[in-house]
Amino acid sequence: MALQRLTALFILFSILAIELTCLIESISTNNPRIEWKKIKNGVPSYVYFQNQISGDLEHRAQLIQPANLLILNTSRADTAEYRCEVAAIDDHKHFDEILISLAVRVKPVVPRCSVPVAVTVGTSSELRCLENEGFPASQYRWFRNNEELPQDPKSSPKFINSTYSINADTGGLKFRRMRKEDAGEYYCQAKNEAGHAQCPAQLMEVYDVDIVGIFLKVLAALAGFTIVMVGVYHAHKHGCFSSGKDHTGTNYKPPAADDGIDYAEADEGHFRHKSSFII
């Protein structure tokens, strides 16, 4: 009994299915024992054992006679080494194996891009781009008005005065100091071995004066003034500003001078005079 003695490398760009071949060239044993193992990060686990699929491929793999392994709905999690082991007790050579390395590549999805609508000349700003589905991890490129921004602006006479820097690993496009010439339509492209994808272009305008900031400040001032006036109106309505009459005001009347008459005892029903009179 002999297997095809080679270490194979499959690079898969589809997520539909892949067949791993374990070719038995000659065999005398009628029912050889066949096992498949998945080796991830140096740790082996059973894929096909005792005539059944097991592990994380239990419901999406099958053995195709005599010993090929078909994996359905492949994903990047299937990237690993797979070992086919065949034991044939009636053969001169009782055991043989082959090792297959499987690398699943997944095309990037449309990245999420963040482009500021308006910025001010002389300020710093950052544009962001990110996607998490592609495998291996995507590398990022930025475009302005359908023209790719060089990784180093100093390498191009057209961009030599620009102050941007691009991080191809994270997708960040940072401007240290914005210029009027930096205005335009920007989009980002994510790319790996399986393909590429890009987000829709977004317009970024660069102003000499912070019009947006001035508008917000004026709006805040008007709002504050309105609140104060409403407060004054309600306070006046509830009499908070009316002044009470005091003893020093013009309406104050001093008590009359004493006329010598005792009014304390002249209450109703008890009238009496102090001097006699003749009728």
The more confidently predicted of residues 47 and 6 is 47
Instruction: For the beta carbon of residue 167, count every other beta carbon within 10 angstroms.
Output: 13
Which fold does the domain 5-106 belong to in CATH? Immunoglobulin-like (2.60.40)
* DSSP β-bridge partners for residue 34: 86
Least confident of 26-30, 163-167, 237-241: 237-241
Q: Are 35 and 24 in contact (CB under 8 A)?
A: no
Q: Which amino acid is at 151?
A: Q
pLDDT in tens, 48-85: 999 999 998 999 999 998 899 999 988 888 999 999 99
What is the average per-residue pLDDT within 194-205?
96
208-215 contact pairs (CB < 8 A, 24+): 208/120, 208/121, 208/180, 209/120, 210/120, 211/118, 212/118, 213/120
Looking at residue 232, what is its pLDDT?
Answer: 76
Count of residues for the chain?
279
Closest CA to 69 of 28, 24, 20, 30: 20
Instruction: Assign 1 a pLDDT band (cuts: 50, 70, 90).
Output: low
Instruction: For the beta carbon of residue 233, count every other beta carbon within 10 angstroms.
Output: 10
The more confidently predicted of residues 73 and 213 is 73
Looking at residue 267, what is its pLDDT?
Answer: 45
Percent of residues, the chain, with pLDDT higher than 70: 78
What three-state secondary structure class fits 54? coil
Looking at residue 16, what is its pLDDT?
Answer: 74
Looking at residue 6, what is its pLDDT?
Answer: 42
Model confidence, pTM:
0.60
- Output DSSP code: residue 122: T
Q: What is the CATH number of domain 112-207?
A: 2.60.40.10
The more confidently predicted of residues 165 and 260 is 165
Give Cα 107 to chain centroid, integer Å: 20
Question: How many angstroms separate the Cα of 195 from the Cα of each of 112, 115, 246, 270?
Answer: 17, 24, 90, 119
What is the Cα–Cα distance from 3 to 94, expressed in whole angstroms?
Answer: 11
Looking at residue 275, what is its pLDDT?
Answer: 46
Q: Is the pLDDT of residue 86 over 60?
A: yes
Where exactly does CATH 2.60.40.10 map onto the chain? 5-106, 112-207
What is the Cα–Cα distance from 117 to 212, expressed in whole angstroms?
Answer: 11
Least confident of 62-76, 102-116, 188-202: 62-76
